[in-house]
Amino acid sequence: MRKLLMGGAALLLAGFALGQIQFLTHARDARDEKGKRTMVIHDVYFSLKDNSPEARQKLIAACQKHLTKHEGTVFFAAGTLADELKRPVNDRDFDVGLHIIFRDMQAHDTYQDHPRHTRFIDENKDNWKKVRVFDTVASE
């Protein structure tokens, strides 16, 4: 019986702690006028001077090294153009796409000024033919 009570107390405490973490996380979220959580979606499309498979993979590896795990990042992904998708509406004028979703504008702004972001640019910009950035403030 004692083990059962101790186990129940531990589960209750863990549930309370998780609820507090979720409360604190959501308390920092930005909200729109309807109370829905807003995020900043940062999409970057790189056209490369040397767009060989090796150069594409090198840029993806640099994204993973310098642009992951920044404070306030909700989602990160980097990859190459989907060669198999060639519909008339597909924009195919890029080699590598970077996609980061930030918790709020403050997280985005902090990322922009972070030394790891600056180092990424300095180490990779010589192979960039064109860079297009699409930033969206979106509600869930």
Percentage of residues of the chain with pLDDT beyond 90: 71
pLDDT of 10 > 60? The answer is no
Domain map (residue ranges) of the chain: 1-31, 32-139
pLDDT of 32 > 80? The answer is no
pLDDT of 79 > 90? The answer is yes
Mean pLDDT of 104-122: 98
Q: Does domain 32-139 have CATH number 3.30.70.100?
A: yes
Q: Is residue 86 packed enough to be buried (19+ CB in 10 Å), middle (13-18) or exposed (0-12)?
A: exposed
Banded model confidence at residue 102, pLDDT cuts 50, 70, 90: very high
pTM: 0.77
Q: What SS3 state is found at 1?
A: coil
Q: Which two tokens stand for residue 91?
A: 């924009």
Distance between alpha carbon 112 and the CA centroid of its chain, in Å?
A: 12
Three-class SS string for 62-120? HHHHHCCCCCCEEEEEEEECCCCCCCCCCCCCCCEEEEEEECCHHHHHHHHHCHHHHHH
Q: Please state the φ and ψ torsions of residue 49, each to the nearest 5 degrees.
A: -65, -55
- Sign of the CA dihedral running 116, 121, 89, 40: positive
